[in-house]
Amino acid sequence: MEDRVDARILIARPRVPREFYQRRASTVAPALLGLILVHETPEGITAGRIVEAEAYEGPEDRACHAFGGRRTPRTDVMFGPPGYAYVYFTYGMHWLFNVVAGEEGLPHAVLVRSIEPLAGLELMSRRRRGKLPLAEGPARMTQAMGIDGKDNGKDLVSSDLYIVSPPPGLDAPVEYIATERIGVDYSGEWRHMPWRFIEKGSRQ
């Protein structure tokens, strides 16, 4: 698999500043589309263009882990400053990556559901054991990007896991659709919130 973009170009791009994340999750989620998620690891660098994201806004949101202001060791990072990674384990087998948004003390987060792979594709393929698609869906995405529990609480502004602005050629305005979120039927009327954002015509 050939990379679409040289990783050196991506790691030199400006990182998204803290202020970007300091907004409600339903505003940050569509703004993430088209930005580049980068992970520098001892194995190598992987990166992909964010094409699907889903917002959660506690404490009111019944689909949010912090609904009702519930603060546990798992959700603690959601209550901290915005611009940090919230990575949690689900179904006993998958890691999911979220971006903490909102004001400190307000548990908002955005689940990054899919990326379009740009750099480190061979490494992504090895991590995925050759399975396709590489990074469509939140569990495949974290596996391909090498994101797991050790990345929970990382500062997305200063750590080896971060988000950057797209380089020329990938910086066209993003058109997207908004749909209901997936897998939150338990949340009553909140399951109908149109807080899942998908770039139109995205390809994995």
**pLDDT tens-digit profile of 11-59?**
999 999 999 999 999 999 999 999 999 999 999 999 999 999 999 999 9
Work out whether strand 36-41 and strand 94-101 pair parallel, antiparallel, or are unpaired.
unpaired
Whether the ω angle into residue 133 lies within 30 degrees of 0, i.e. cis, is yes
pLDDT at 65 over 90: no
How far are the Cα atoms of 20, 24, 63, 197 from residue 54, in angstroms, in the given order?
A: 16, 12, 11, 6
Q: Which domains does the chain have, with CATH numbers?
A: 7-199 (3.10.300.10)
**How many other CB atoms are found less than 10 A from the CB of residue 74?**
15
**pLDDT tens by residue, 120-129:** 999 999 999 9
Q: What's the pTM?
A: 0.95
Give the tokens for residue 93.
Answer: 């087998």
CA atoms within 13 A on the CB side of 12: 7
Query: How many angstroms separate the CA atoms of 202 and 88, rounded?
Result: 26
What rounded mean pLDDT belongs to the chain? 95
36 in Cβ contact with 145 (< 8 Å): no
- State the distance between the two ends of the chain, measured CA to CA, in whole angstroms: 13
Query: How many angstroms separate the CA atoms of 14 and 68, rounded?
Result: 36
pLDDT at 186 over 80: no
**How many other CB atoms are found less than 10 A from the CB of residue 204?**
17
pLDDT attached to residue 204: 45
pLDDT attached to residue 144: 98
E-only strand ranges, 78-107:
85-90, 94-101
Question: If pLDDT is split at 50, 70 and 90, which confidence band does 165 have?
Answer: very high
Query: How many angstroms separate the CA atoms of 31 and 53, rounded?
Result: 9
pLDDT attached to residue 203: 61
